[in-house]
Amino acid sequence: MTEKQIIDAIGREVAEHDRATAHALQLVEDGLTRYPSSARLWILRGDLIQVSDDVERYSLEDALTSYRTAVKLEPGSAEAHESIGHFLDAVANEPAAAEPYFRRALELGGGKSAREGLAQVLEQLGRAE
């Protein structure tokens, strides 16, 4: 399977079951075995871990590590920076740590979601722009 086929299969699996199934997680892990340098697969791994109920195999720290790996592999990825920003804000409750990631995502061409994330973080920090 190509990287795109794996990503599409993960999307179908999640859509069909309306959740991150064990099969979807296995697809992403298998994909990363074949394409370990795929920032997109690392981002998907982080996303799936966050909504997974497999607490014995994964922790929220694994999700953050996945996003950090994506940024390391593809520093020009707005999506990877935005994913870390959302994680740090919504999951880790660290808006100050999230701010630079949202800013970088916007510098890299991030859209509405990155702008909204930055605005939310700045509001939490008592700063407006």
> What is the number of domains present in the chain?
2
Q: Is there a single domain that holds both residue 114 and residue 86? A: yes
Domain that holds residue 37: 1-74
Q: Is there a single domain that holds both residue 83 and residue 108? A: yes
Please answer whether residues 85 and 102 qualify as being in contact, where contact means their C-beta atoms are separated by less than 8 angstroms. yes
Query: How far lies 115's CA from each of 78, 86, 101, in Å?
Result: 12, 11, 11
Pick from 121, 58, 60: nearest CA to 86: 121
Q: What is the pLDDT of residues 38-76, one digit of tens each?
A: 999 999 999 999 988 777 889 999 999 999 999 999 999
Q: Is there a single domain that holds both residue 104 and residue 64? A: no
What's 52's DSSP letter? -
Q: Is there a single domain that holds both residue 11 and residue 54? A: yes
Q: Is there a single domain that holds both residue 49 and residue 101? A: no
Q: What angle do CA 82, 84, 87 make, to 5 degrees?
A: 110
Q: Is there a single domain that holds both residue 101 and residue 129? A: yes
pLDDT at 84 over 90: yes
Find the mean pLDDT for residues 18-42. Answer: 95
Cα separation, 96 vs 79, in Å, equals 19
Q: Is there a single domain that holds both residue 12 and residue 55? A: yes
Q: Is there a single domain that holds both residue 53 and residue 19? A: yes
**What's the whole-number average pLDDT of the chain?**
95
pLDDT at 20 over 80: yes
Higher pLDDT, 54 or 125: 125
